[in-house]
Amino acid sequence: MSEREILLSIRQLRVAFRQEDGGRFEALKGIDLDIPAHRTVALVGESGSGKSVTSMAIMRLLPQYGCEIDPASQVLFAGRDLLKATPAEMRALRGRDITMIFQEPMSSLNPVYTVGDQIAETLMLHEALSRSAAWQRAIELLQEVGLPDPEKRARAYPHQLSGGQQQRVMIAIAIACKPKLLIADEPTTALDVTIQKQILELLAGLQKKHGMSVLFITHDLGVVGEFADEVIVMRHGEIREQGSAQQVFEAPQDAYTRALIACRPSVAHRPERLAVIEDFLRPEPYVQPPERARGYAQDDAVALEVQGLCVNFDIREGLFRKRKFEAVKNVSFKLAKGRTLGIVGESGSGKTTVGLALMRLREVAAGKALFHGQDILAMNEREFMDYKRRIQIVFQNPYASLNPRFTVGSILTEPMQLHGIGANRAEREQLARELLDRVGLPARSMEKYAHEFSGGQRQRIAIARCLSLKPEILICDESVSALDVSVQAQVLNLLQDLQDEFGLSYLFISHDLAVVRHISDQVMVMNKGEVVEQADADSIYRAPASDYTRRLLASIPQGWSAAA
């Protein structure tokens, strides 16, 4: 590489955490990396790779107790070792010279202060501006990050803004004092593809405008290829590869990097099985599997037919007034037996509400859902009990959907007991062990609790719980969106195996269009509660009929190829 100014330099950074059993977990194993001035560096890796620990070490936000940093480690910022800085010196640096954007803005923003007050607070603290001057500058910053009607938005509370708007507020706070280094820790993971693209373009534009350095942390190589200058790939606390974005994407040297690139579903190819990390770490070379054909056949039996589904919400305006909001407007579709219907759209499009309405977790204003010729929406609770077993849902967040006080065995056997599956406890436990084996978890998992598992493992448990009732239809509501790309590939492969084996029908709800194309036979695009278009997956991706669908497809991260 040519000579360049280095803004931040990490040398031999080792971080370990003391465990409850007295053991010691080494999260970072002596890593070295440089962040040049005025450049964007992407730090990529799966959960547990050490990415966030690296950023927390830079910010000196690691816990004081239970965390050990090797005395030989150095984090040099503009030639100054941050690991030796006093707490007062770090407080002066944070928010002014080094700032950070976190993954979940709602947990970072103070819910009892307006967003304008929170931006102004930073300016008054680090820039010594008066209250009125700080407020005016806050409005200017909200305008700079692209929030419409910034004066009105400055008086809003965080809960009154969408996820994308909240993230823009966090960016406004981060750039308020024109920092030299901005750390963005998974800032787009939970956002729709269109909002994700907007945030990435905003960060890239601000980086160029202010000449700051950006450390962009993510688990998805696809989202950084379009704007990162350099890429660093981490695994298990070590750096596996680093280089220019072009070099890493076009000619990755490490098998793990090649695996991360290959694990992500593509809109151009649909292999029978997605690659997983282990495929690339074996001695023998990875062989790309053949393509899987998708689509409906004319003689496919219909598993579920939805006609004119409408769902309304009451939105409170003021203390006494309410207004009706049409969340789902006259939605109709057919789900074929043994096939997958993908439902895509941005947040607020109504796709999740459709799934919850079919599970009778949302009150329906109008419409029918015909399952085996019976309208499940018109049944009373007693009549619906048998049908409830045959239509199950896998939610997005396995952390919230599994009871933390139950062992995995209880999580799996309780639904069986409620629906009369299995003659006795021993038979139900045997069925539970078989289900765990089917989703790739050992039988000893029966005695453990949900918190003892990773996110991908918890999602497997959630799928096993659904399978315990032997359903015919599985509604997957953003069930892989929060997972690492490699774990996502494993879960998608599992869902495909289960569909092939049991003939399950899937209603697959997601904002990730690459994932939807991989797994869907037919795709339904929704916007503002309405169906925009509906066709087989290949037709929609090859020749979308609506401008809205074209805009969604244009927002899919394309990696380095899009930037080249």
Instruction: pLDDT tens for the chain, 564 residues: list them.
Output: 445 799 999 999 999 999 877 889 999 999 999 999 999 999 998 888 999 999 999 999 999 888 999 999 999 998 899 999 999 999 999 999 999 998 777 788 999 999 999 999 999 999 999 999 999 999 999 999 988 899 999 999 998 887 788 889 999 999 999 999 999 988 887 677 788 888 888 899 999 999 999 999 988 777 887 789 999 999 999 999 999 999 998 899 999 999 888 888 888 889 999 998 889 888 888 888 999 988 888 888 999 999 999 999 887 766 677 788 899 999 999 999 999 999 999 888 899 999 999 999 999 999 999 999 999 999 998 889 888 889 999 987 777 889 999 999 999 999 999 888 888 999 999 999 999 988 888 988 999 998 888 777 888 899 999 989 889 999 999 888 777 888 888 889 989 999 998 899 999 999 888 899 999 999 999 999 999 999 999 999 999 999 999 998 888 876 554 333
Q: What pLDDT is recorded for position 3?
A: 57
Q: What pLDDT is recorded for position 281?
A: 86
Q: What pLDDT is recorded for position 513?
A: 86
Alpha helices (runs of H) in 145-234, residue ranges in sequence order: 150-154, 163-175, 193-210
Angle at 315 between CA 314 and CA 318, to 5 degrees: 130
For residue 483, the one-letter residue type is L
What is d(CA 364, CA 361) in angstroms, rounded to the nearest whole number?
Answer: 9
- Report whether 58 contacts 82 (CB < 8 A): yes
What is d(CA 557, CA 410) in angstroms, rounded to the nearest whole number?
Answer: 41
Which residues are CB-contacts of 342 (< 8 A; sequence separation ≥ 6)? 508, 509, 510, 516, 517, 519, 520, 522, 523, 524, 537
- Report whether 84 contacts 74 (CB < 8 A): no
Q: What pLDDT is recorded for position 555?
A: 83
Q: What pLDDT is recorded for position 190?
A: 66
**Token representation of residue 522:** 């037919």
Q: DSSP string of 35-98?
A: EETT-EEEEE--TTSSHHHHHHHHHT-S-SSSEEE-TT-EEEETTEEGGG--HHHHHHHBTTTE
Alpha helices (runs of H) in 391-508, residue ranges in sequence order: 398-401, 408-418, 425-438, 455-467, 485-502
Alpha helices (runs of H) in 223-287, residue ranges in sequence order: 245-250, 255-263, 277-281
Summarize the chain as % helix, strand, coil (round to 5). 40, 25, 35
Phi, psi of 544 (to 5 degrees): -60, 140
What is d(CA 287, CA 270) in angstroms, rounded to the nearest whole number?
Answer: 14
Q: What pLDDT is recorded for position 559?
A: 58
**CATH numbers and ranges of domains, the chain:** 340-347+379-563 (3.40.50.300)
Q: What pLDDT is recorded for position 1?
A: 40
